Structure 1
Amino acid sequence: MHAPLPTTSDTSASSLLQLIWLASPALPVGGFSYSEGLEMAVERAGVATEQAASDWLADQLHLSLTRADLAVIAQAIPAWRRADLPRIEQLNAWVLQTRETSELRAQTEQMGRSLLEWLRNHDGANAEHIDNCAAMQPTYPVAFALAASPTSASVRDCLLTYAFGWAENMMQAALKSVPLGQSAGQRILARLSREIPAAVDTALELQDDDRQAFAPILAILSSQHETQYSRLFRS
């Protein structure tokens, strides 16, 4: 008889599968339809090669996603778990207030609504929590935190999930926008995967006064994308 293999995580199998599900590009929230400014960066900022796209997304991970969305989720998950609605509303309002263009705000609102609709037809999240979330014009980070909160997974594992889901969507956007081949996309995803754990650890340490969404070039490109003549993506 073989001895059981040692485990390195307290996350249960069901919780792990739930996180994988939340990270899946097949989740019907529309993440595939956004490039978050990358499409305009290809046209105006010289993101025309694999290396340039890889550098752009790595910078976006550390300078934007880590300091904003990941930091919010890190605080929203425990808030959902203790049913601290005023805290959740505060975090949700911060996300809305720091989306610097109309299309970036529309993205987080649309994906938040879509994830809530998915949750209504999926076992897990508390029905009252879903109704409370729907009443506050939910952003995607706050809705994701709600979806992840019923699991036994650590907050860190939940952040890793969110970041990888973002990385996979953005890699796919790079393939179509630059454009690049599948092998180049996998190399970009491998780089982002190596950098995500450090980004998550940084996000876990950020307090309210440390969060920020200051990314002026990204905001400029996003505003230009709103009137881009020919485009594939909604942001």
Structure 2
Amino acid sequence: MPGRDTTLMQLMWLASPALPVGGFSYSEVLEAAVDSGHVTDVQDASAWLQDQLHLGLARGDLAVVAQAVTAWNADDGNRIRVLNDWVLHTRETSELRAQTEQMGRSLLEWLRNHTTVSASQLQSLAALPPTYPVAFALAASATGAELRDCLTTYAFGWAENMAQAAIKSVPLGQSAGQRILSSLAAEIPAAVDHALASTDATRQTYTPMLAILSSQHEVQYSRLFRS
């Protein structure tokens, strides 16, 4: 079992925007929200992302991470496949599906050289093909961290990427981006609580506005981001 300091550093590494999974190239529809006039300033961006955290991430991907960490620790390959399939089936546009698949593959490649993940686990992940929440769950499970800490890491990494996306797409200054990140960080504990309490029956991704805007973003004339 890794020591506390090692575990903490491994979680910080997974949350870092320097992790080479390409998260910086996705806005998760925020760019389309800006283009359509739903988000025009720092207050709009903060409110939009808080809603996305609670109505989307906490009820969907974050809940998957919680359940997948447990499944990886139990070496339950069937459960992992079910969760991975659920992520794929809940991506309502091609760009959102491409995002989770690309980031999942990139994290798989990182995992081959940077963690204590076993060869059999890597083989199981590669055979899926992996989505990002399920790949992240494997990386997090290998740290030996508490489940809540794994989810907090995932959520903060998402929040940092989204704050940077807001800076580029609204656009905003660095100080405004930090205010957005601070507002999201304050909401993460409640989002983690929701994810931890989720079951197969309550896990969901009902966010129709995101799906509509994502469809529009796929044909948006000018854009910085891939989603």
Q: CA RMSD in A?
A: 1.0
Percent of residue pairs identical: 69
State the TM-score, normalizing by the size of structure 2: 0.98
Alignment-derived partner of residue 201 in structure 1: 193
Matched, 1:182 2:160: no
Out of 216-225 and 37-46, give the one that drifted further: 37-46
The answer to whether the 8 Å contact 1:77/1:148 transfers is yes
Structure ID, larger Rg? 1
Q: CA deviation at 1:45?
A: 3.9
- The question of whether the paired residues in 1 share the 8 Å contact of 2:115 and 2:142 is answered with no
What is the Cα deviation at residue 11 of structure 1?
7.2
Q: Distance in 1 between matches of 2:30 and 2:204?
A: 20
Structure 1-normalised TM-score? Answer: 0.95
Q: What residue identity is the alignment partner of 1:139? A: T
1-side partners of 2:116 and 2:215: how far apart? 37
The total of aligned residue pairs comes to: 226
Task: Tell me what 2:48 maps to.
Answer: 56
Counterpart check, 1:144 vs 2:133: no
Alpha-carbon distance between aligned partners in 1 of 2:124 and 2:28, rounded to the nearest angstrom: 28
**2: distance between equivalents of 1:148 and 1:79?**
12
Give SS of 2:114's match. coil
Q: Within 1, Cα distance between the matches of 2:64 and 2:224?
A: 29
Structure 2: runs of 5+ lacking an equivalent:
none
Q: Which amino acid aligns with 1:177?
A: S
Secondary structure of the 1:27 match is: coil
Is the CA contact 2:24–2:161 (under 8 Å) kept in the aligned structure 1? yes
Compute the displacement of 1:152 (Å).
2.0
Query: Which whole-Å deviations, capped at 9, do the CAs of 1:151-170 have from their partners, x for residues lacking one?
Result: 22111000000000000000
What is the aligned partner in structure 1 of residue 22 from structure 2?
30
- Determine the structure 2 residue equivalent to 1:163: 155
Please, which runs of 5 or more residues in structure 1 have no aligned partner? 1-9
Q: Deviations over 1:180-201 (max 9, x none)?
A: 0000000000000000011001
Choose from 114, 127, 146 the match for 1:135: 127
